[in-house]
Amino acid sequence: MNDVIVSLTTKLQNLFRGVEQSMLVTAGLLLSLLLIECALVGWSKSSLRALLSKSMSAWVDIACAALVLSNVALLLGTVMTFGVVYALTAQIKAHISIGVLDYAGSPYVCYAVYIVALDFTNYWVHRWMHTDRRLWEIHRFHHEARDFTMLTTLRDHPMERVLLHSAGAIPSALLGMPPSHYLAAQLLLQSVGFLKHSNLDSDWGWLGRWVVQSPPRPSPASQHGGGTP
């Protein structure tokens, strides 16, 4: 019994240590992107100004970001779906794991393929949530942001977070990712999400047309605010 308790305690400590390190790295990345955006668009249009405005929308963005980055949102979503989606995700990882990228010679190839595949999956899940009325009732929370910030990318209902995690398990299992490159790939993917929800006036040119999902235009903020699917 004592061995079980010690083993469980060790696993929890490792989990919390990993989450803490991940949050610190992501916070540093986010701060860098916020400062770059502020320098390019000016203080009045920046996400940083909105986040410091103390508006309810900004506070919700910050709270959601904390829940997502700490994996609490994923845990809540798992409970809300009675563990069904979690079990499905586990089966996907167990039965279709191929690890194509384990054989890629260059880490840059790993990063590029992984980001494009996950972004492609997220795009179609996002479209599905806009066309299915039941899923829209979950997803509309994301579009209720009144002050648009980079953190709006993490403004998800816990059940949406579980669905995204489950959908992303398919390309993740097929592609795999060498452990030495996994953190960098996740940070790059997170950067893409932050930049999509920035106030930078760009559609990313050919990259946004053919490679990854570009920010909505005429402006990201016009796509939020509690609209209908």
Give me the residue spans of the domains in the chain: 2-223
Q: How confident is residue 136, by pLDDT bands cut at 50, 70 and 90?
A: very high
Q: Reduced to 3 states, what is the DSSP secondary structure of residue 145?
A: coil
Q: What is the pLDDT of residue 218?
A: 47
Which run of H or E residues covers position 30?
helix 2-41
Total-model pTM: 0.84
Residue 15 has pLDDT above 60, yes or no: no
Q: Amino acid identity of 11?
A: K
Q: How confident is residue 4, by pLDDT bands cut at 50, 70 and 90?
A: low
Q: What is the pLDDT of residue 204?
A: 83
Which run of H or E residues covers position 80?
helix 72-80
**Cβ 145 vs Cβ 197: under 8 Å:** no
d(CA 189, CA 185): 6
Cα 173 to the chain's mean position, in Å?
17
**Cβ 47 vs Cβ 37: under 8 Å:** yes
Q: How confident is residue 160, by pLDDT bands cut at 50, 70 and 90?
A: very high
Q: What is the pLDDT of residue 2?
A: 61
